[in-house]
A and B are shown apart, each in its own frame.
Chain A
Amino acid sequence: MTAFILYKSIICLAIFILSLTVAAYASWWERKLSGFLQDRYGPNRAGKWGLLQPLADGGKMLFKEEIIPNLSNKFLFVIAPGIFIITTIVAGVLIPWAPPVKIGDTYYAMQATDIDIGVVFLLGVTSVGVYGIMIGGWASNNKYSLLGAIRASAQMISYELAMGISLIALIISAGGTLSFSEILQVQDAGYANVVWQPLGFVIFFVCSLAETNRAPFDLAECETELVGGYHTEYSAFKLGLFLFAEYMAMFVSSAVMAGFYFGGYNFPFAAELYQAMGLEEGSWIITLIGFTVYFAKTLLFISVFMWIRWTLPRFRYDQLMNLGWKALLPLSLLNLAITVVVEFIRGNIQF
């Protein structure tokens, strides 16, 4: 029992540190990539290629004055960024980062836990994140914050519907499992799920852009209208936590997309490659390669998120709502119908 708790704690801590590092360096990479796309340098003063920039930013945020406005609801104002970051960190707990490694006779999964309602758990936890934004915006007692918070929460709940239905179609394609690791294993021998779910993937991708409040859906904080949106009144590291949590949410949703639709740690001809290298199942080298592949896919998706930010202009609010309710929701139901027909053809549903 103690060994079990120790092993799970190590995995949890590793995932936590990984997501912290990625979130910090995603902010660096976003600025660097933006620089590249706009033909300028981006951060290049702190360390080589500006690599120490996230640390400098963190230090700066820590040593700034913490301002809690007079009229705000002080307790809620302080805990809101905490709620937001806790939900985004916990959302990453289910991701199986690599194939299991074999030590002695036991297989150790490179996943914190594998509960059999994984997909529902993910949807549930991510939707709690809305509370962080809503509470933060309301407690600030600032009109910009309130408007930003209302916009953000209405947007996040609207896109959750289409996301939920596209995940149902994915579950059916994956053979009716809600567990993360099984969805990945299904893609081991066969095709990646995106082959069966091209439309579902597009819907899921658009929804994750909206869920993470990324451009072109960043109406919650469009600086030309609402100053900073729901975190207008925040300063010091409380603001940092909000920004941090957004990058972390982007990381988690990229990892989920790479895992659900693009095979996670699986890649084409993986079994043949391992055989040619003379590796047995459960070898730590396989785990390492699998992790690298999954991580690379995740980083690729993060980069696509940033690329989209500088490619598409921001939506207007009615366009955003119309896209979510009148386009993506019916489209995801259509995708569900198509999936069922495909499953008939594949013979997974019997008459």
Chain B
Amino acid sequence: MEKSSLLDYLPILIMFGIAAGFAGLILFLTHVVGPRRKTRVKLEAFECGIEPQGNARVPFSIKYFLVAIIFVLFDIEIIFMYPWAANFKVLGILGVIEVFTFIALLLVGFYYMLSKKALKWED
């Protein structure tokens, strides 16, 4: 296809406007309509009926953080493959060899990650 111009992105902006307008309207309406009978207990954090114990801003398992970091690494590397996928006919066999070398390097990192038990959840 021909190169897309900046004008092609205008509908996305329009859609964003519609969506933001809709979300704003609903959030405003639900704030205005509806009864307001606030009590102290009602505004407490919900903990199945017992009194809330402390703050919810507590430390959580480091595993989730690890997953997030590994995701960032891998996701960036996957994005690198998209230009190849869009031009694989032009790049031909050379492109295939290069990309699969890249994937092999990626898999070495993946193996290292697994051997360090970064994704071991059951313990």
Mark A residues whose CB is within 8 Å of B. 4-5, 8-9, 11-13, 15-16, 61-72, 78-79, 81-82, 85-86, 89-90, 93, 112-116, 119-121, 140-147, 150, 153-154, 157-158, 160-161, 164-165, 168, 171-172, 175-179, 182, 227, 232-233, 236-238, 240-241, 317-318, 321-322, 325-326, 329-330, 333, 336-337, 340, 343, 348-351
Task: Note all chain B residues with C-beta closer than 8 A to A70.
Answer: 43-44
Chain A residues with CB under 8 Å of B12's CB are 90, 93, 112-113, 115, 121
Number of chain B residues close to chain A: CB under 8 A? 68
Please, how many angstroms separate the alpha-carbon atoms of A85 and B24 in the complex? 11
Residues of chain A with a CB closer than 8 A to B75's CB: 157, 160-161, 164
User: Which single member of B16, B93, B121 contacts A322 (CB below 8 Å)?
Assistant: B121
Point out the residue from A89, A147, A158 that lies within 8 Å of B22, measured CB to CB. A89
* Contact, CB under 8 Å: B45 / A142: yes
Q: Kindly state the separation between the CA atoms of A351 and B89 in the bound complex, as whole angstroms.
A: 11
Q: In whole angstroms, what is the CA distance A89 to B29 when docked?
A: 19
Selected contact of A62 from candidates B11, B22, B30, B38, CB within 8 Å: B30
A168 surroundings in chain B (CB, below 8 A):
78, 81-82, 85
Closest chain B CB from A132 CB (angstroms) = 10
Q: Given A62-B29, A114-B4, A337-B100, do A69 and B44 touch, yes or no (CB 8 Å)?
A: yes
Contact with A along B52-91 (1 / 0, CB 8 A): 1001111010001001100100110011011001111100
Q: Is the interface of B mostly helix, strand, loop or mixed?
A: helix
Tell me whether B11 and A12 are in contact (CB under 8 A): yes
Could you tell me the distance between the alpha carbons of A161 and B81 in the complex, rounded to whole angstroms?
12
| B1-36 near A? 1/0 per residue, CB < 8 Å | 101100111111011101110111011011101111
A58 to nearest B CB, angstroms? 10
Inter-chain CA distance A262–B70, complex, in Å, is 33
Give A164 to B78 CA distance when docked, in angstroms: 7
CA distance A187 to B24 in the complex (A): 39
- Residues on A with C-beta less than 8 A from B121 are 317-318, 321-322
Could you say which residues of chain B place their CB within 8 Å of the CB of A141? 45, 55-57
Q: Write out the residue numbers on chain B whose beta carbons fall within 8 Å of the beta carbon of A325.
A: 119
Contact A115 B4 (CB under 8 A): yes
Partner of A16, one of B22, B26, B68, B87: B22
Complex interface: chain A residues within 8 A of B68 (CB): 153-154, 157
Q: How far is the CB of A119 from chain B (nearest CB, A)?
A: 8
Chain A residue nearest to B87 in the complex (CB): A176
Q: How far is the CA of A161 from the CA of B96 in the complex (A)?
A: 20
Other than A5-B10, A112-B11, A116-B4, give 12 A-B pairs with Cβ distance below 8 A.
Answer: A62-B34, A67-B43, A81-B23, A143-B56, A161-B74, A165-B81, A175-B89, A240-B26, A321-B67, A337-B100, A349-B92, A349-B93
Residue contact A179 to B56, C-beta cutoff 8 Å: no
B46-A349 in contact (CB<8A): no
B74: which A residues are within 8 A, CB to CB?
161, 329
A116→B36 CA distance, assembly (Å): 49
Closest chain B residue, CB of each to CB of A114: B8
Chain B residues with Cβ under 8 A from A79's Cβ?
27
B18 → chain A, closest Cβ, in Å? 5
The docked-state distance in angstroms from the alpha carbon of A8 to that of B9 is 11
Distance in angstroms between the alpha carbons of A89 and B60 in the assembled complex: 32
Residue B105 interfacial (CB < 8 Å): no
Whole-angstrom distance between the Cβ of B76 and the nearest chain A Cβ: 11
Chain A positions within 8 Å of B67 at CB level? 154, 157-158, 321
Known contacts A146-B60, A176-B89, A325-B119; A115 and B16 CB within 8 A of each other: no
Contacts of B3 in A (CB 8 A): 116
> A350 to B88, Cβ gap below 8 A?
no
CA distance A86 to B55 in the complex (A): 30
Q: How far is the CA of A321 from the CA of B120 in the complex (A)?
A: 9
Q: Which chain A residue lies CB-closest to B106?
A: A333
Assess the A154–B86 pair: CB atoms within 8 A.
no
List, sorted by A's number, 23 A–B pairs whose CB atoms are closer than 8 Å: A16-B15, A66-B31, A70-B43, A71-B45, A71-B55, A113-B8, A113-B11, A116-B4, A120-B82, A141-B56, A145-B56, A157-B68, A165-B78, A165-B81, A171-B82, A175-B89, A176-B85, A176-B88, A227-B46, A321-B119, A322-B119, A329-B74, A351-B92
